[in-house]
Amino acid sequence: MAGWWLSDLWSSPNGQVMVVSWLVWVIVSITLHELAHGWTAVKLGDDTPIRSGHMTWNPLVHMGPYSLIVLLLLGIAWGAMPVDPSRLRGKHADTLVTIAGPLMNLALGLITLFLLIFWLPLAEGQIISAVNIQDPLKSNLQIFLGTGALLNFVLMLFNLLPVPPLDGGRILMNLWTPFRNLMLSENGQWFGFGIFILFFVFGADILFGLSNAFVFGISDLFQHLLFPNLNN
């Protein structure tokens, strides 16, 4: 029988580093995801994120206590950024605000993937010969960077799923009128909620599998091409 995810992961090899990495990256990634929505909304004329006090680095404001409790209990969390679409300037302003969150996760994923590729070669002196970084720092930071890259690609893909209340669902509502009419119909919310649950239950493993294959496949490929003598 599966136990509490924190205790199970904590007792696994490198479990303490993995727990800390996961908690830090979930909080940082969701906070920056929501701030990206807010920054774009403010840029496009809506000061609701400012007036509501959400333009802050405080994760409690973006995630709230319930999200943080669920993070500790289940390892997952969510966030929110108040935006008033009626105050935005431009025909596609709401779509730009919505897509800013997943784009932030894409940027974080690419940055951490880049750092992951070059961390081990740097630690083993293949980039700067005078540098020689030993464990546990070498392996701990590798786990930290790998977790950050994996999580942010998962968050990007998950949020782009075309299902309300995810960002992808809102983007599709903005771009495809029949879908918008369906979601705004009397039973539209229940329909969207049902699809969301199906995606969440049956699609999570697929998203993690795709992201894992991409992150560590790309990392191994570039390390092999650029640093063939690397000990990994």
Q: Which positions are catalytic?
A: 34
The whole-angstrom separation of Cα 123 and Cα 192 is 48
Long-range contacts of 133-139 (CB under 8 A, 24+ apart): 136/17, 139/14, 139/17
Indicate the helix (H) or strand (E) that contains 2: none
CB 111 within 8 A of CB 65: no
Compute the C-alpha angle 131/132/138, nearest 5°.
Answer: 115
Q: Taking the mean position of all CA atoms in its chain, how far away is CA 11?
A: 25
Compute how many other C-beta atoms are within 10 angstroms of the C-beta atom of residue 191.
Answer: 14
* Block residue for tokens 């909620």: 193
The whole-angstrom separation of Cα 167 and Cα 99 is 7
The whole-angstrom separation of Cα 232 and Cα 203 is 31
CB 150 within 8 A of CB 215: yes
